């Protein structure tokens, strides 16, 4: 009987041909599906690697398979493949969410007594946090994400987030990157964001902040266009974040290294696309 968090037969058929076939020289890897189910169990429950149930084999095998596939790009390739052969709704939503970093995530190498910036850890009144900047399609499936320390403002990551969107096409042609329309909240209502979107030719629906609207009302000129009906769909990104946070390995950061936390988010995003 399939356990909770384990991959379904239908989803397994889609990704099995894309997984590496050989392990170390002179031997074969343990069954990929068993190991993948162990990795999914770990990030679904948020348990330590050492607490993996015996039915998944050695916890070290699961851990090294997870890190090895992060280093060789397997997780990213699987996600891009599934996105390619899925119908992507190119009305894109962007937002961010802050997750608490567990105390075990604070042991990464430091320089001058401070956490390295590329580890995406920030300290605030609530402790160590990481902010996940997320873009999803119109069906609430993750397209791309970036990580920053928890105190980083949303608007600073809009360009990097949209540049991270890259869905390969079936057959020849450049990967698809540009949304048909972008919907975001007031956290992206800054001239720099609007200029960037205008330069890229991306239509967008972003409400003005109150202080911006007050300043605009005192000046002559055409009011900023805003489609309230389109903006009413913004809860799509909120539902996407809620689906991601059902995985405890996403809702709390346990990994010391940002690259492994990115790999975990990529794997969780893959499962959302498969389901």
- The closest of 14, 146, 155 to 80, measured between CA atoms, is 14
Q: Which helix (H) or strand (E) holds 223?
A: none
| Radius of gyration of the chain from its Cα atoms, rounded to whole angstroms | 21
Residue-wise pLDDT tens digits, 14-40: 999 999 876 555 456 678 999 999 999
Question: pTM for the full model?
Answer: 0.90
The Cα 138–Cα 92 span in angstroms is 6
At residue 183 the predicted structure's pLDDT band, cuts being 50, 70 and 90, is very high
pLDDT in tens, 222-244: 666 777 888 999 999 999 999 99
Q: Domains, the chain, ranges and CATH?
A: 9-72 (no CATH), 81-274 (3.30.420.10)
Nearest to 68 by CA among 118, 38, 24, 120: 24
Cα–Cα dist 50/132, whole Å: 27
In whole angstroms, what is the distance from residue 137 CA to residue 133 CA? 14
Q: How confident is the model at residue 60 (pLDDT cuts 50, 70, 90)?
A: very high
Eight-state DSSP code of residue 152: -
Torsion of the alpha carbons at 201, 148, 132 and 87, rounded to the nearest 10: 40
Q: How far is CA 101 from the centre of its chain?
A: 16
């Amino acid at each position: 009987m399939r356990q909770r968090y384990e991959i379904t037969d239908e989803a397994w058929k889609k990704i099995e041909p894309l997984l590496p076939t050989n392990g170390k020289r002179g031997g074969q890897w343990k069954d990929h599906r068993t190991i993948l189910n162990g990795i999914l169990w770990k990030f679904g429950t948020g348990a330590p690697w050492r607490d993996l149930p015996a039915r998944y084999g050695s916890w070290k095998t699961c851990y090294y398979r997870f890190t090895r596939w992060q280093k060789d790009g397997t997780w990213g390739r699987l996600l891009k493949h599934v996105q390619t052969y899925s119908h992507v709704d190119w009305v894109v939503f962007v937002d961010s969410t802050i997750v608490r970093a567990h105390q075990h995530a604070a042991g990464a190498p430091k320089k001058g007594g401070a956490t390295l910036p590329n580890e995406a850890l920030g300290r605030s009144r609530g402790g160590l946090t990481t902010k996940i900047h997320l873009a999803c399609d119109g069906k609430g499936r993750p397209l791309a994400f970036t990580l920053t320390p928890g105190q980083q403002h949303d608007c600073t990551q809009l360009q990097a987030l949209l540049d991270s969107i890259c869905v390969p096409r079936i057959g020849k042609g450049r990967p698809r990157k540009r949304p048909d329309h972008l919907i975001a909240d007031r956290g992206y209502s800054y001239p720099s964001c609007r200029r960037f979107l205008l330069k890229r030719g991306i239509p967008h629906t972003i409400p003005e902040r109150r202080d911006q609207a007050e300043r605009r009302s005192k000046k002559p000129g055409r009011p900023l266009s805003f489609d309230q009906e389109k903006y009413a769909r913004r809860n799509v990104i909120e539902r996407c974040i809620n689906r991601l946070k059902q995985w405890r390995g996403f809702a709390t950061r346990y990994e010391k290294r940002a690259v492994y936390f990115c790999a975990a988010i990529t794997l969780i995003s893959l499962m959302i696309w498969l389901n």
